[in-house]
Amino acid sequence: MLVPYKAGPPLSEIRRRYDIDRVVELGANECAEGPFPEVVAALTASLVGLNRYPSGDSEELRAFLADRLGVEPGALMFGNGSCDLLMLLGEAVLGPGTHVVYADPSFVVYKSIALARQAEFDAVPLREHRHDLEAMKRAVREDTRLLIVCEPNNPSGTCVGPAALRDLMESIPSETLVVFDEAYTEYVTRSDLEDTVPWLQDYENLVILRTFSKIYGLAGLRIGYGLAHADVVDAIDKVRQPYNVSTLAQVAALEALRHPQRVAERRDHVAGERVRIGEMLTALGRPWVPSKANFMLVGIEGLLTAAAEVPTALLERGVLVRSGWGIGYPGWVRATVGTKEENDLFLGALGDLVGEEEPI
Ligand SMILES: Cc1ncc(COP(=O)(O)O)c(C=O)c1O
């Protein structure tokens, strides 16, 4: 059954409900830092022009990004967040008599787009927290129109890596669009990270989705982009609204792209914190899943507080994480990697819930 996406309550309500001054927001995989200062300046300068509609094709942004990525401008599409593009893809290619394959647990919207279009779907269980690409390949049928791989995967943070993805592309029929949802790709530091953009030349059925919501700190503005064969972009153009990306979103994204050094600094910070948090979790006796993204799954069974109550117990201590029960990972929480201070507050709150041995 199709159910509305349920975002968490506003932070002001949480503060009121739990009578706390501050909530550390580690529940939605957002960037701990805001937009780059240059982006804030560019946004401020654009406010006076808001009586006009935006460019319907995100023209300037498109030209800049096409040049940066080495693709034709017509290979790009922009949306009100990458979620918008996912939903538009569903609208463009799904319907009764079609089929979708994706992993489970993975990003909740994949199921929604299948249900919204009355398409059938196979949600293929992860294996050891990773996409089981062999099983996903086996799930593909003649009527499969979309196969979605979330790399790195939300909520597990794992990657399958370029070799396995290449192998997947080689074995999927060209009638099936393969979507790489790369919302967190800027956080990946693995040495064998391969930019998948040049693959578009080899595979006309490849669609890559990325977002400005995460490392660029622009979640509130809503802008994401996709790369695909011109026919796919054309199909999306037919179903999207004429001005689906606001002026401010276009301005912010364009300015944000001009500062790759700032992106690298954020990536390095998160990578360093992932290691440090992992060590601290191990010291607390907590299981955790090594992540390539800006969030980590942390096991919460066997604490002083019953596992199902742990997300609330953390909230009472001022730390909001995503409960695993809502995202297919009962017994775990998903915590965004925040600033060092925020991460310490999370670890401290979790530490409160770890039982100490009674002194003899
Ligand atoms: C895997 C994945 N894809 C897409 C999105 C949506 O991002 P956007 O804000 O660009 O719509 C998210 C957001 O959390 C995500 O986790």
pLDDT tens-digit profile, the chain (360 residues): 887 777 777 788 888 888 888 899 999 999 999 999 999 999 999 999 999 999 999 999 999 999 999 999 999 999 999 999 999 999 999 999 999 999 999 999 999 999 999 999 999 999 999 999 999 999 999 999 999 999 999 999 999 999 999 999 999 999 999 999 999 999 999 676 899 999 999 999 999 999 999 999 999 999 999 999 999 999 999 999 999 999 999 999 999 999 999 999 999 999 999 999 999 999 999 999 999 999 999 999 999 999 999 999 999 999 999 999 999 999 999 999 999 999 999 999 999 999 755 555
For residue 355, report the distance from its CA to the centre of ligand 1, in Å.
36
| CA-closest residue to ligand 1 atom 8 | 81
Cis peptide before 311 (omega within 30 of 0): no
Do 254 and 300 have their domain in common? no
Are 254 and 274 part of one and the same domain?
no
| Ligand 1 centroid – CA 349 distance (Å) | 27
If you take atom 6 of ligand 1, which residue's CA is the nearest one? 83
Do 224 and 178 share a structural domain?
Answer: yes
> Of all atoms in ligand 1, which is nearest to the CA of residue 222?
9
Choosing from 25, 131, 214 the residue with most ligand 1 atoms within 8 A of its CB, the one to mutate for a pocket test is 214
* Same-domain check for residues 94 and 222: yes
**Best of 6, 108, 109, 110 to mutate for ligand 1, by most ligand atoms within 8 A of CB?**
109
Which ligand 1 atom is the nearest neighbour of the CA of 223? 10
Residues within a 6 A CB radius of ligand 1: 29, 81-83, 107, 150, 154, 181, 183, 211, 213, 219, 224
Nearest atom within ligand 1 for CA of residue 219: 9
Beta strands 177-181 and 144-150, pairing class: parallel
Kindly give, in sequence order, each residue whose CB lies less than 8 Å from that of residue 256, ignoring residues fewer than 6 positions away: 35, 36, 39, 212, 216, 218
Whole-number Å distance, alpha carbon 220 to ligand 1 midpoint, is: 12
Q: Are residues 163 and 24 in the same domain?
A: no
* CA–centroid distance, residue 183 to ligand 1 (Å): 6
pLDDT value for 356:
59
Shared domain for 136 and 196, answered yes or no, is yes
196 lies in the same domain as 335: no
Q: Which atom of ligand 1 is nearest to the CA of 84?
A: 11
For the question of whether the overall pTM of this predicted structure is more than 0.85, the answer is yes
Q: What pLDDT does residue 8 have?
A: 72
What SS3 state is found at 22? coil
Domain membership of residue 223 (yes or no) is yes
- Identify whether 202 is part of a domain: yes
Task: Tell me, yes or no, whether 179 and 229 share the same domain.
Answer: yes
CA of 83 to the centre of ligand 1 (A): 6
Alpha-carbon gap, residue 278 to 286, rounded angstroms: 9
The pLDDT of residue 15 is 84
Contact present, 315 and 18 (Cβ < 8 Å): yes
Q: Are strands 224-227 and 76-79 parallel, antiparallel or unpaired?
A: antiparallel
Report pLDDT for 13. Answer: 84
DSSP 164-176: HHHHHHHHS-TTS
Nearest CA to ligand 1 atom 2: 183
**Does residue 141 share a domain with residue 58?**
yes
Residue 74 DSSP class: G
Ligand 1: centre distance to CA 171 (Å): 27
> Which letter does DSSP use for residue 355 in this model?
P
Give the Cα separation of 239 and 228 in Å (integer): 16
How many angstroms does the Cα of residue 9 sit away from the middle of ligand 1?
A: 18
pLDDT at 19: 82
Give the chain's domain count. Answer: 2
Does residue 359 form part of some domain?
no
- Which burial class, exposed, middle or buried, applies to 114 when counting CB atoms under 10 A from its CB (0-12, 13-18, 19+)? buried
pLDDT of res. 61: 98
Residues 265 and 301 in one domain: yes
- What is the per-residue pLDDT for 14? 83
CA angle, corner 328, sides to 205 and 92, nearest 5?
Answer: 30
Residue 295: CATH number of its domain: 3.90.1150.10
